[in-house]
């Protein structure tokens, strides 16, 4: 086989629906072997009082609701293939270390994954969580985090 790709904006229901339709055309009646929900953003991070509600909504839209909606759209295909869902959480989905939506969104993914795992067990669909620590990525880039904090401070 070969790798096939499509564009997807996990914050846009229409984009998610189109991507799910594309996947269905690609896999047909075989169903979908696996789904990895890995989209994520961290900023802004900082003291809670420096945030406004939109800061929380933006992070939750990508990290939590995006993963949930993509999963819901693809669940029939995953059930057909007795596939698996892998959700990217974080060690910060267990221990909240800072303000902002990041830790909240990862707690949400932990809870969603736990309930989905129980719901899908009967159908043979496996659900796993990956909980990375502090790896060097764009999400953990200290310059970006510092710039976000400075912007909030000013």
What is the arrangement of strands in the sheet containing 84-88, beginning at the earlier edge strand? Answer: 34-37, 84-88, 126-130
Superfamily holding 13-153: NAD(P)-binding Rossmann-like Domain (3.40.50.720)
pLDDT digits (tens, 9 = 90+) for 60-79: 999 999 999 999 999 999 99
Instruction: Count the neighbouring beta carbons within 10 Å of the beta carbon of residue 83.
Output: 22
Q: Where are the domains of the chain?
A: 13-153
pTM: 0.87
Q: Identify the band that residue 121 occupies on the pLDDT scale cut at 50, 70 and 90.
A: very high
| Catalytically annotated residues | 102
Contacts of 7 (CB under 8 A, 6+ apart): 15, 19
Cα–Cα distances in Å, from 122 out to 11, 76, 109, 117, 146?
Answer: 30, 14, 21, 9, 46
């Amino acid at each position: 086989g070969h790798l096939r790709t499509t564009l997807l904006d996990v914050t846009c229901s229409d984009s998610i629906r189109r991507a799910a339709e594309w996947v269905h055309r690609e896999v047909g009646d075989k169903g979908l072997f696996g789904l990895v929900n890995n989209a994520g953003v961290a900023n802004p991070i900082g003291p809670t009082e420096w945030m406004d509600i939109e800061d929380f909504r933006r992070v939750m839209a990508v990290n939590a609701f995006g993963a949930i909606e993509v999963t819901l759209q693809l669940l029939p295909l995953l059930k057909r293939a007795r596939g698996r869902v892998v959700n990217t959480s974080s060690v910060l989905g267990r221990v909240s270390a800072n303000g902002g939506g990041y830790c909240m969104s990862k707690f949400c993914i932990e809870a969603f994954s736990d309930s989905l795992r129980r719901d899908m067990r009967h159908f043979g669909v496996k659900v796993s969580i990956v909980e990375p620590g502090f790896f060097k990525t764009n999400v953990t880039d200290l310059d970006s985090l510092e710039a976000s904090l400075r912007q909030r401070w000013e």
